Amino acid sequence: MDAGDSIQGGLIGSMSHGSYIIDIMNEVGYDVAAIGNHEFDYTIPMLMKRAEELDCGYISCNFKNLETNELVFDPYRIVDMDGTKVAFVGVSTPETIRYSTPVYFQNDKGEYIYTFCEYGNDLYDTVQEKVDKVKAEGADYVILLSHLGESNVEESWSSVKVAANTTDVDAILDGHSHEVTDQLTVKNKNGEDVLISQTGTKLKNIGKLTITKDGKIKTELVDKVPEPDSSMEFPDDSWKEAENRTAVKRLFKAGRMALTFIRLSKVDFDTRRKCFSLSISSSS
């Protein structure tokens, strides 16, 4: 899972308008990805092209085209994990228009034709609507895969505030504010616990959410890379050193870029920003 801002921020993304990053994400085999504000840096038409190339596609329940009154992306995805239905609802920060290029979200008359449900309680109501929908479709657990941030963001749009103003959300796997949060417990609208986790930035950590057999949920951060097998062909013990654990080696040869994909065990990872993996435990 990816919590947004995956296709921009590094040379390999900038020089390909995110295309090389999409290639890597497809090679890794992501199940679901959220939209961050930096996904819009190459214009909306370019983002739509990247979205078509991404095998798992993007989800966002609050990015809407005002001219058609329809969501631009699917709002959620329900994944069946060994008989347990886990719903992932995508949420994108309404700060996107402010931190991206405003004209990208306007028509030729300078009128805004896109919204992130930024007015009043629209964001909370929109998220709740989709949460209710996935519960009605049989989801056992509901996870917000969000790009909202915990602090140093517009408070009313933070993951903490979204949790506090909604119900039936079990956990929020968050991004945007680059905070390192292994597990933060907050209360929802009914006073029930909601877990929030965020992995920082640039693959500093890998996030892991575990649902145990007895239904308990925990989140944690993984900062140690599992020992690779011989097929990965790491020289000596170089994989133990942080500077040698980059997900992609940039090789320039005859004026062309060659990409070497490195799979880190069976844990899904994102080459630049946030990433999370989820497991269903066979024991408590």
Torsion 253-256-257-260 (CA) sign:
negative
Distance CA 274, CA 145 (A): 11
Please give the mean pLDDT across all residues of the chain: 84
Q: Judge whether 200 lies within some domain.
A: yes
User: Residue 256's pLDDT is what?
Assistant: 31
Distance CA 80, CA 140 (A): 10
Q: Which two tokens stand for residue 187?
A: 């209360």
Number of domains in the chain: 1
Q: Judge whether 31 lies within some domain.
A: yes
Q: Judge whether 5 lies within some domain.
A: no
User: Residue 278's pLDDT is what?
Assistant: 56
Question: pLDDT category, 14, cuts 50, 70, 90?
Answer: confident
Q: Judge whether 6 lies within some domain.
A: no
CATH number for the domain harbouring residue 115:
3.60.21.10
Cβ neighbors of 57 (< 8 A, separation 6 or more) are 33, 51, 73, 74
Cβ atoms < 10 Å from Cβ of 260: 11
Secondary structure letter of residue 229 according to DSSP: P
Q: Judge whether 271 lies within some domain.
A: yes
Q: Judge whether 132 lies within some domain.
A: yes
Q: What pTM did the predictor assign?
A: 0.82
Question: pLDDT category, 267, cuts 50, 70, 90?
Answer: very low
Q: Judge whether 4 lies within some domain.
A: no
In the β-sheet with 180-187, what is the strand arrangement from edge to edge? 76-81, 84-92, 141-147, 171-174, 193-199, 180-187
User: Residue 234's pLDDT is what?
Assistant: 65
Q: Judge whether 1 lies within some domain.
A: no
pLDDT digit string, tens, across residues 172-230: 999 999 899 999 999 999 999 999 999 998 777 889 999 998 889 999 998 776 677 77
- Domain range for 246 is 11-280
Question: pLDDT category, 252, cuts 50, 70, 90?
Answer: very low
- Give the pLDDT mean for 268-278: 43
pLDDT digit string, tens, across residues 165-178: 999 999 999 999 98
